[in-house]
A and B are shown apart, each in its own frame.
Chain A
């Protein structure tokens, strides 16, 4: 498939994933990244709207990873507190 057509298609998929909150956004972003680093000149084909979708996708992805890491963290401190109170 033509590389230029492929990146446009991926951007469209990313927009859909953003709108419908689909879980495959990281995979799409990874593919776009691979295509861009493989042939940086295709960036000239991207319109302002395409780049906006890309940045919106990245921001959504960053927020998701921040929230996930925040949820995973706690617990240890709570245990220590209980020990402290018992003593």
Chain B
């Protein structure tokens, strides 16, 4: 005589299957990552600027990798002032390109370029602010 499988057993099996699925899903295995505020990166980068710049920005790249994801707090910078073009130095543009790298996805190139320009403006704005007033992050325009 076939004994019917108790429904509770099915539930346990379902639960085990769910737990296994959860244990291999990337969300459950990866630790929660806290985004790094951009000024923190800029402060270290400014202080170790010479070293960061050597070997085609190898230090900057390593620093970005280490602190990723970096939070640009874009929503805080919707009304940035317009800066003179002379402030958009090679270094600033290079840094913005490293912080927001261009990928192969053609559709997002335009978005990336806009983001790079905004990040460059944020860097200039932060540098201008720290040079003119005493803020918690002490660094100046590179």
A interface residues with partner B (beta carbon < 8 Å): 29, 33, 36-37, 40-41, 43-44, 46-48, 50-52, 54-56, 58-59, 61-62
Minimal beta-carbon separation of B58 from chain A (angstroms): 6
Q: A37, A44, A46, A58 — which one has the most chain B CB atoms within 10 A of its CB?
A: A58
B62 touches A61 (CB 8 A): yes
The complex places the Cα of A37 from the Cα of B27 at a distance, in Å, of 21
Q: Kindly identify which residue among A40, A48, A62 contacts B47, using a CB–CB cutoff of 8 Å.
A: A48
Residues of B at under 8 Å CB distance from A?
A: 34, 36-37, 39-40, 43-44, 47-48, 51-52, 58-59, 61-63, 65-67, 136-138
- CB-defined contacts of A44 to chain B, threshold 8 Å: 43, 136-138
Provide the residues of chain B in CB contact with A59, threshold 8 Å: 58-59, 62
Contact: A58 with B62, CB < 8 Å? yes
Knowing A40-B37, A40-B39, A62-B65 touch, does A55 contact B136 (C-beta < 8 A)? no
